[in-house]
């Protein structure tokens, strides 16, 4: 079955702009998590959605937001972009039920460059 | 805990040798741990996991060891192959008893396998 799909794969924005990234989870998966990956900070948790509700949130400013749709697809938005937002944004999906194994299936990521 | 420097720890091995990648985790309350492999240009890929009620778990060519006393995790790869070259991350989930996907990732170790 198809894996986690993220779009766009690459994008370039300028400071002050906003960006929306999209993630389609594996069919049947109801949990979608977002992570930011940078060389300096590594992989950092942004937020997790389950059944259209944000269930967990990391320590990022309010400029970072997300949502999940009824078909489990998710989007994240970053407003008022800063140079430091340049990163690989990874989406991961999982079944999301109480029998959580923690196994996340990651997409290839969206590489954001802020100029 | 993990190094917070900009440079990844590196491990270089010869093809056919065994590799051992180490990880120090930070949260003594964590009771679920995962190893991920990330190849260049790809998202992290699940390798193996272990719960805190175990101290060893084996997969295909991989073994994870957990030492809760010193909060240390290791990944052993047997008969390392060039295709094993990647960055390896350990991750901990401090709330595995519930539906919580807020993983904390280590900084990663770059494994290079020389043919």
Q: Do β-strands B86-92 and B104-105 pair in parallel, antiparallel, or remain unpaired?
A: antiparallel
Cα-Cα-Cα-Cα dihedral sign, residues A42, B54, A57, A50: positive
**Which residues of chain A are within 8 Å of residue B96 when distances are taken between CB atoms?**
100, 102
Whether the pLDDT of residue B1 is over 50: the answer is: no
CA distance A35 to B102: 10
pLDDT, mean over chain B: 88
Whether the pLDDT of residue B81 is over 80: the answer is: yes
Specify whether the backbone of B101 is left (phi greater than 0), alpha (psi in -120 to 50) or beta: alpha
Write down the H helix ranges in chain A.
Answer: none
CB nearest B103 (choices: A39, A45, A107): A45
Question: What pLDDT shows up at residue B4?
Answer: 35
Q: Do β-strands A110-114 and A10-13 pair in parallel, antiparallel, or remain unpaired?
A: parallel
CB-CB under 8 Å, B43 with A4: yes
Confidence band, pLDDT 50/70/90 cuts, at residue B108: very high
pLDDT, mean over chain A: 92
CA distance A73 to A85: 23
Closest by CA position to A20, among listed A2, A39, A34: A34
Percent of chain A with pLDDT over 70: 93
Question: What pLDDT shows up at residue A34?
Answer: 96
CB-CB under 8 Å, B49 with A104: no
Question: What pLDDT shows up at residue B26?
Answer: 84
Residue to mutate among B48, B101, B103, B110, with most A CBs inside 10 A, is B101
Percent of chain A with pLDDT over 90: 77
Whether the pLDDT of residue B2 is over 60: the answer is: no
Confidence band, pLDDT 50/70/90 cuts, at residue B6: very low
């Amino acid at each position: 079955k198809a894996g986690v799909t993220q779009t766009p794969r690459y994008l370039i924005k300028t400071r002050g702009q906003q960006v929306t990234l999209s993630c389609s989870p594996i069919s049947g998966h109801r949990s979608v998590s977002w992570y930011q990956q940078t060389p300096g900070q590594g992989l950092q948790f942004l937020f997790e959605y389950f059944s259209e509700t944000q269930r967990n949130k990391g320590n990022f400013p309010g400029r970072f937001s997300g949502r999940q749709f009824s078909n489990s697809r998710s989007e994240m938005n970053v407003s008022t972009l800063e140079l430091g937002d340049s990163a690989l944004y990874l989406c991961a999906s999982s079944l999301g039920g109480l029998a959580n194994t923690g196994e996340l299936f990651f997409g290839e990521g969206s590489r954001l460059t802020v100029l | 805990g993990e190094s917070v420097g900009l440079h990844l720890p590196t491990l270089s091995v010869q093809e056919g040798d065994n590799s051992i990648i180490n990880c120090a985790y930070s949260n003594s309350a964590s009771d679920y741990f995962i190893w991920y492999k990330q190849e260049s240009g790809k998202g992290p890929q699940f390798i193996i996991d272990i719960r805190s009620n175990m101290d060893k778990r084996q997969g295909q060519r991989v073994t994870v060891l957990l030492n809760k006393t010193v909060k240390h995790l290791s990944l052993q790869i047997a008969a390392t192959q060039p295709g094993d070259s990647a960055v390896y991350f350990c991750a901990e989930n401090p709330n595995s008893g519930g539906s919580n996907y807020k993983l904390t990732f280590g900084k990663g170790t770059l494994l290079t396998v020389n043919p």
